[in-house]
Amino acid sequence: MAVGLSEPTDLLAIKGVKLATTACGIKKPVDGQPARDDLVLMTFAGHSVCAVTFTQNAFCAAPVSVAKKHLQQTAPRCFLINSGNANAGTGQQGMDDAQQSCRWVAEKLNCDATQVLPFSTGVIGEPLPLENLHAGITQLIPALDASNWLAAAHGIMTTDTIAKAVSEQVVLEGETITLTGIAKGSGMIKPDMATMLCFIATDASIEADLLQQYLSRAVDNSFNNITVDGDTSTNDACMLVATCQSSFSVIAEDPASEQFYQALERVCLTLAQAIIRDGEGATKFVTINIEQARSITEAKTVAYTIAHSPLVKTALFASDPNWGRILAAVGRAGLADLDISTVNIFLGDVCIVRAGAKSHTYTEAQGQAVMNQAEIDIRVELGRGEQCATIWTTDLSHDYISINSDYRS
């Protein structure tokens, strides 16, 4: 059950964007339930510009490789996204299949295959069922509509329990600019770019280089600060498309452009935190703040050491205020010359460690009250600098084990 997360509503259409979804049998059926949508098509108006971030996993999936190649040749006109099959670890056949899917879409839309970007998510190591894919593409074309954002959010889901989507609007010099984004991700989540699939569109008019700068910055402040299990996927992608349908132009030197960026960052933060709130088997939404570090890298190192500790994560699941596990994680994070006498650790507003030892004001009842909450803040003051970092993570539950042990069955 997602922590503090509900089904998205009030999603806004983006001028110049149409979407369609269908169920073509890529996702395995669930007994007693109707077929789930597993193929999504997004199309964009001419002159749209695109910004991208991709997984840094060396075993990147075939669709990632094909998308990168196509982006080097031309601006995209559409995205084809399938869920239930990652088309990763599939060798040359996977590359051929991804390219074939692009050709089929191009034939239907009367465009070049290089203007189609493929995306896949699901089980690694299995070939795409091309016949299903071809039939699905045929069904998608007549269903394209500007209002299908929520359906698309459902269509890209795998182990997600709830759709993740959000819209933002900002008024710039009298012109209303709209952004809408969808994301999927629940497990195999550890930032090394973006660790999930995310698709954001805006009607803003903006140059491609500035759009890329904004996306990279927003990803660093959002998706690159989340982790469920420390695993970076083979298929990750975060795509931002500007259809340039607005009469207002976002220009770097214009102070109004920062307002557009802040709206984009809010979209990314909302989607990134939604992924954590819906982490596989998650019962806790955990914010880890590291303060007084020598560098942001150092702060993130400590935060991830805490976030990836199985002992910390299982204590969170059990609502057990076993603060020694947090202290031990800080100590093994590998910081050079760490003076433990400068370290303070807090659960919420409760100080559990002061100057490297148990706080004389701490009581077990105080810690228990914090750990009983569904949303928990862990804060560490290192006392060695002025830099800070925030990471969002989950607990580790029995359901996480069950979901991943049963994933292919």
Q: What's the average model confidence in pLDDT over 5-15?
A: 95
Q: Can you tell me which residue has the tokens 């190591």? A: 125
> What is the pairing mode between strands 375-381 and 285-293?
parallel
Last residue of one domain, picked from the residues 277, 298, 320: 277
Are 44 and 172 contacting, i.e. CB atoms less than 8 angstroms apart? no
Are 211 and 177 contacting, i.e. CB atoms less than 8 angstroms apart? no
Pull the structure tokens for residue 199. Answer: 């698709």
Same domain, 182 and 308: no
Query: Over 90: is that where the pLDDT of 231 sits?
Result: no
Same domain, 225 and 302: no
Same domain, 351 and 320: yes
For residue 280, give the DSSP letter: T
Last residue of one domain, picked from the residues 248, 277, 306: 277
Residue 235 lies in a domain: yes
Same domain, 236 and 90: yes
Same domain, 216 and 313: no
Same domain, 208 and 319: no
- In the chain, the percentage of residues whose pLDDT exceeds 90 is 87
Tens digits of residue pLDDT in 364-382: 999 999 999 999 999 999 9
Are 193 and 236 contacting, i.e. CB atoms less than 8 angstroms apart? yes
Range in 187-191, 200-204, 205-209, 387-391 the model is least confident about:
187-191
Tens digits of residue pLDDT in 60-116: 999 999 999 999 999 999 999 999 999 999 999 999 999 999 999 999 999 999 999
Query: Over 90: is that where the pLDDT of 187 sits?
Result: no
Residue 6 lies in a domain: no
Residue 8 lies in a domain: no
CATH number of the domain at 217, please. Answer: 3.60.70.12
Query: CB-side exposure of 323: number of CA atoms within 13 Å?
Result: 27
DSSP string for 106-129 = HHHHTS-GGGEEEEEEEETT----
Q: How far apart are CA 63 and CA 152, in angstroms?
A: 18
Same domain, 155 and 218: yes
Query: Over 70: is that where the pLDDT of 48 sits?
Result: yes
Residue 378 lies in a domain: yes
pLDDT category at 29 given cuts 50, 70, 90 is confident
Number of domain units in the chain = 2
Q: How far apart are CA 322 and CA 269, in angstroms?
A: 30
Q: Which residues are part of the catalytic machinery? A: 195
Sheet of strand 49-54, all strands in order from the earlier edge strand to the far edge = 49-54, 237-242, 197-202, 175-184, 164-172
Are 47 and 244 contacting, i.e. CB atoms less than 8 angstroms apart? yes
Q: What's the average model confidence in pLDDT over 277-302?
A: 97
Same domain, 380 and 307: yes
Residue 379 lies in a domain: yes
Residue 1 lies in a domain: no
Query: Over 90: is that where the pLDDT of 345 sits?
Result: yes
Domain with 344, as residue range(s), is 285-405
Query: Over 90: is that where the pLDDT of 34 sits?
Result: no
Query: Over 60: is that where the pLDDT of 409 sits?
Result: no
CATH number of the domain at 325, please. Answer: 3.10.20.340
User: What pLDDT is stored for residue 408 in this prediction?
Assistant: 61
**Count, residues in the chain:** 409
Same domain, 386 and 290: yes
Are 219 and 236 contacting, i.e. CB atoms less than 8 angstroms apart? no
Pull the structure tokens for residue 310. Answer: 């199985």
- In the chain, the percentage of residues whose pLDDT exceeds 70 is 98
Residue 266 lies in a domain: yes
Q: How far apart are CA 226 and CA 323, in angstroms?
A: 22
Residue 160 lies in a domain: yes
* H/E run at residue 288: strand 285-293
Same domain, 138 and 228: yes
Last residue of one domain, picked from the residues 277, 310, 338: 277
Same domain, 112 and 224: yes
Q: How far apart are CA 84 and CA 156, in angstroms?
A: 9
Same domain, 268 and 249: yes
